[in-house]
Amino acid sequence: MSLIAAWDVLTRSEEGTISLGRAIGDSLSPGDAVLISGELGTGKTRLVQGIAAGLGTADRPRSPTFVLVNRHIGRLVLHHCDLYRLEGTAEVEELGLMERVDDGDVLAVEWPERARAALPEDAMEVTMKRGSGEEDRSITLTQNGPLSSRLLRAARSGFNAAKAES
């Protein structure tokens, strides 16, 4: 069993990022959390759309404008948060996300650095950056505990298998 600390992926279109998200969504287990950092327009919400598709949800996540969290129901219940407009950690604590995750739901969070202390410690962290081409995105995924380590490994093998098939 190989232990990887980080995995780098380069996507060249929004479809590539959605495919990566789908591999993550396919691999999620109860209690998993995915924390997605990156500037506006790097594709965080596209990645969440893939995650939701991988979980088999019927609706497509968008960037929440006024609410901090949207819920999507698939194989597991996904809570999608965008903390961009967040005023403080207390606001996230009030959402009760930790309790939901403890109960087996899963979490996808944009702008997690706004309230990192109020989010699960063991989480897969995804960092998205623009590359040299207009549609290039350099995406780094890291793990920091047993849950996120399992998720990272499963998502990587799922993504590579899907790529090999296409």
Ligand X SMILES: Nc1ncnc2c1ncn2[C@@H]1O[C@H](COP(=O)(O)OP(=O)(O)O)[C@@H](O)[C@H]1O
Contacts with ligand X, residue ranges (CB under 6 A): 11, 13-14, 16-17, 38, 40-46, 63, 110, 135, 137
Shortest distance (Å) from residue 134 CB to Mg ion: 18
Q: Nearest-CA neighbor of 13 among 37, 47, 36?
A: 47
Which partner in Mg ion, ligand X, none is near 137 (CB below 5 to 8 A by kind)? Answer: ligand X
Residue whose pair of structure tokens reads 């598709």 in the numeric block? 53
Closest CB to ligand X among residues 11, 148: 11
Q: Which residue is closest to ligand X by CB?
A: 43
Closest CB to ligand X among residues 47, 147: 47
Shortest distance (Å) from residue 17 CB to Mg ion: 12
Backbone CA torsion sign across 99, 116, 124, 71: positive
Closest CB to ligand X among residues 28, 47: 47
When asked if residue 37 is in the footprint of Mg ion (CB under 5 A), the reply is: no
When asked if residue 17 is in the footprint of Mg ion (CB under 5 A), the reply is: no
Shortest distance (Å) from residue 135 CB to Mg ion: 17
Q: How far apart are the first and last CA of the chain?
A: 26
Shortest distance (Å) from residue 10 CB to ligand X: 9
Q: Find the helix or strand (DSSP H, E) in which 110 lies.
A: strand 106-110
Backbone CA torsion sign across 117, 110, 53, 155: negative
How many CB atoms lie under 10 A from the CB of residue 32? Answer: 25
Residue whose pair of structure tokens reads 């990645």 in the numeric block? 47
